[in-house]
Structure formats: structure tokens, C-alpha cells
């Protein structure tokens, strides 16, 4: 059960509700929110009789939640959440495309990509400065230097920036430079990192873990929300299966399932989802057709020179084709790009 307090409820009002819940034999957890404070009721095995709580001053409503994820679930909030990044809305009418290289490699590469992404009408640039690589000998990213280059690309183009964070130190650094923090698949269940980004006020792009169920993804989002940051964009990026013709198996059915279970927006990553550039465009089109709120795509001016994920990166001319395809499908599903 969640007890939602009215806006402006005082510490003492909250304390009184907590005391009443504890007298009933349950424990409480105050869940901070930017809009409203909620009190989670823990320890009940069956439905709690909430009639007394509902009558208490400053209680807005009591919500009976049956799912293990509470704040990010539809039971808690029936209308879709729209995540705002400057004047961009994710989860609204418009489909959002995020594009850019896997990693920031050098000044020329990121500025050139930013320009072509901007010219294609894309509002958000991606680019990793901290790369979690399978091999310790692979390119690990430029670190803070990469963040500075992303900031320069932002200044030159006006694009919003998303970059991956991998630990506390990179969160503290990246939050000074970028607009959205990405939690990568490998860190989806790094609970201390989830709490850390939950304590920032930047939107979080949370990617599904390599072998995570949808409930596990939603529980990871719950970690972020329970720290007070509700600005979460979920991302389906393919999961590990026995299929060996693609890098991962892009689970497009996750999109309608997540729309049913959660109010958060869900976007799809057809680049990591398939692992090969020639499978990216059809998968992106399918993602829009099935109801995704956007896509995140890897683009590189010269994929053959890329320091990471060149095989799945689109060349500029292919990226233009992707944009045309996405626009066509968006129209069919009554959305705009």
C-alpha cells in the first residue's frame, strides 16, 4: 500500500501517518518525490484496511499496490509519464530519436557526428565517455575529456546529450556536463549506482540487463524512483538467448508489456539489439510500429574506423534512410517524429 500525502504536507503530518501504520503492525518507508511524498507500507501479506489512514489530515489518497514495483507501476499512476529534457518530451505524442557514436573518440569525430545528427532533425546526441567493455584491453573511453567534447558538441549544436555512467565518480563528473545519464545493461542491477543516480535531478536512461526479466528491469527503475528521481526512460536493448545470428535477441514484445505494467516511457536500441548495421533499420521501424516512445541508434561518420561497435553503427547516408523509414511508420501509428 502507498499513502500519498497532499502537496505541502508537514513532517509532523507524515510522522502521524507513519505512527498510525506502525500501530497496525507494519513498517513504513517515506518515498520522497519531486511532486508529492508517499509513504510505503511494508510487511503486509494481505490487503491492509486503510479506512482510518484515508481519513487522516493531509492524506491525498491510499493506493493498494499488488506488484513488487510500486512507484513505477501503472497501479500507482495510470497516466503515461512524460520525461522532459529542456524542451524535449519523451513519452508524449512525439517519437524521440537519440543518435550518435558508441563512444566519443576525438573532437573531429564527435563534432562531425553531432552536426549530421542535428541536420537529420534529431534532438538528442549519444556518446560514451566511460565505456564498460568486455575486455580490459579494449578502448575504455576518454573519461572527462570525452565529457568536455560532448559539452562542446552541445554548445555548437544545441543538442541535448546522453552519456553512460559506470560508478559514483563518473556520475559526479557527468552530471556537470550532460542532460541525461545512462545506466548500461551491465549495470542494471548495480544497486548502489541506481541509488546514486536516484539522488540526482537528471533524467535517467535505464537499459535492460543482458539477462534481465521485465520485472527485474522495473525493480531497477524502482530503486531510482525510491530515491526521489522519477525521471526514468526505460530501454529495451536485446537480451541473451540461444539465437546466434544476432548479437542479442531484441525483445520487441517488451514494449507493449512495459506499457501495460508501467507508466514510464520505453525506447528501443536496435543497434545493440541486433549487433549489425544492416539489421538496424528494419528493427528500428518495427520498434516504432509496436509502440516504442523512441529509439537510440549508433551512428558513426566512418564506422570502419570506430573504436567500438563499428559493425553495428550506421553510416551517415544509412542514418538518413533510417530517419525516413521511422517517419513513415510513425505516421501509420499516428505519431510524429
Q: How many residues bind ligand PEP (CB under 6 A)?
A: 9
Task: Name which position in 18, 179, 293, 309 contacts Mn ion (CB under 5 A).
Answer: 309
Give the residue at shortest CB distance from ligand PEP. Answer: 184
| Spatial distance between the Cα atoms of 274 and 114, rounded to a whole number of angstroms | 23
- Helix, strand, or coil (residue 125): strand
For Mn ion, give the closer residue by CB, 118 or 133. 133
- Residue 185's binding partner, choosing from Mn ion, ligand PEP, none, with beta-carbon cut-off 5 to 8 A by kind? ligand PEP
Task: Name which position in 71, 88, 96, 102 contacts ligand PEP (CB under 6 A).
Answer: 102
| Spatial distance between the Cα atoms of 34 and 132, rounded to a whole number of angstroms | 31
For Mn ion, give the closer residue by CB, 102 or 261. 102
Q: Which 3-state string (H, E, C) describes 221-271?
A: HHHHHHCCCCCEEEEECCECCCCCCCCCECCCCHHHHHHHHECCCEEECHH
Stretch that binds ligand PEP, among 71-79, 110-118, 167-175, 180-188 (CB under 6 A): 180-188
Cell matching residue 207? 537499459
Give the residue at shortest CB distance from Mn ion. Answer: 102
Question: Are the C-beta atoms of residues 269 and 280 closer than 8 Å to each other?
Answer: no
Task: Name which position in 272, 279, 300, 335 contacts ligand PEP (CB under 6 A).
Answer: 272
Q: What is the DSSP letter of 297?
A: E
Instruction: Please report, for the chain, how many H helices and E strands are present, in that order.
Output: 11, 14
Radius of gyration of the chain (CA): 21
| Spatial distance between the Cα atoms of 195 and 333, rounded to a whole number of angstroms | 36
Cell matching residue 326? 521511422
Task: Name which position in 48, 160, 180, 185 contacts ligand PEP (CB under 6 A).
Answer: 185
Binders of ligand PEP among residues 120 to 159 (CB under 6 A) are 128
Q: How far is CA 263 from the centre of its chain?
A: 12
207 binds ligand PEP (CB under 6 A): yes
- Helix, strand, or coil (residue 204): strand
- Residue 184's binding partner, choosing from ligand PEP, Mn ion, none, with beta-carbon cut-off 5 to 8 A by kind? ligand PEP
Question: Are the C-beta atoms of residues 268 and 284 closer than 8 Å to each other?
Answer: yes
Stretch that binds ligand PEP, among 8-16, 135-143, 178-186, 196-204 (CB under 6 A): 178-186
Q: How far is CA 50 from the centre of its chain?
A: 33
Task: Name which position in 237, 247, 263, 279 contacts ligand PEP (CB under 6 A).
Answer: 237
- Cell match 563518473: residue? 170
184 binds ligand PEP (CB under 6 A): yes
For ligand PEP, give the closer residue by CB, 104 or 261. 104
Residue ranges in contact with ligand PEP by CB under 6 A: 102, 128, 184-186, 207, 237, 269, 272
Residue ranges in contact with Mn ion by CB under 5 A: 102, 309
Amino acid at each position: 500500500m502507498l499513502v500519498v500525502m497532499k502537496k505541502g504536507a508537514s513532517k509532523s503530518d507524515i510522522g502521524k501517518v507513519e505512527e498510525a501504520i506502525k500501530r497496525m503492525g507494519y513498517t513504513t518507508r517515506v518515498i520522497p518525490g519531486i511532486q508529492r511524498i508517499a509513504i510505503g507500507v511494508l510487511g503486509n501479506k494481505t490487503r491492509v484496511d486503510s479506512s482510518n489512514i484515508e481519513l487522516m489530515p493531509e492524506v491525498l489518497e491510499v493506493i493498494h499496490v499488488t506488484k513488487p514495483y510500486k512507484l513505477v507501476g501503472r497501479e500507482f499512476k495510470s497516466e503515461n509519464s512524460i520525461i522532459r529534457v529542456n524542451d524535449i518530451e519523451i513519452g508524449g505524442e512525439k517519437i524521440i530519436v537519440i543518435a550518435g557514436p558508441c563512444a566519443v573518440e576525438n573532437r573531429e569525430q564527435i563534432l562531425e557526428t553531432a552536426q549530421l545528427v542535428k541536420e537529420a532533425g534529431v534532438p538528442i546526441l549519444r556518446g560514451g565517455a566511460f565505456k564498460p567493455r568486455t575486455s580490459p584491453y579494449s578502448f575504455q573511453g576518454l573519461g572527462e575529456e570525452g565529457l568536455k567534447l560532448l559539452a562542446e558538441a552541445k554548445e555548437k549544436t544545441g543538442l541535448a546529450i546522453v552519456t553512460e555512467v559506470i560508478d559514483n565518480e563518473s556520475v559526479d563528473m557527468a552530471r556537470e556536463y550532460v542532460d541525461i545519464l545512462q545506466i548500461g545493461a551491465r549495470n542494471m542491477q548495480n544497486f548502489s549506482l541506481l541509488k546514486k543516480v536516484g539522488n540526482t535531478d537528471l533524467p535517467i536512461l535505464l537499459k535492460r540487463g543482458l539477462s534481465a526479466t521485465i520485472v527485474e528491469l522495473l525493480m531497477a527503475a524502482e530503486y531510482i524512483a525510491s530515491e526521489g528521481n522519477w525521471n526514468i526512460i526505460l530501454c529495451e536493448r536485446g537480451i541473451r538467448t540461444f539465437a546466434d545470428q544476432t548479437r542479442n535477441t531484441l525483445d520487441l514484445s517488451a514494449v507493449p508489456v512495459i506499457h501495460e505494467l508501467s507508466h514510464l516511457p520505453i525506447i528501443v536500441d536496435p543497434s545493440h539489439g541486433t549487433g549489425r548495421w544492416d539489421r538496424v533499420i528494419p528493427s528500428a521501424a518495427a520498434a516504432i510500429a509496436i509502440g516504442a516512445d523512441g529509439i537510440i541508434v549508433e551512428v558513426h561518420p566512418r564506422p570502419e574506423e570506430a573504436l567500438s561497435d563499428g559493425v553495428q553503427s550506421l553510416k551517415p547516408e544509412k542514418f538518413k534512410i533510417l530517419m525516413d523509414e521511422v517517419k513513415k511508420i510513425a505516421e501509420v501509428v499516428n505519431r510524429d517524429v
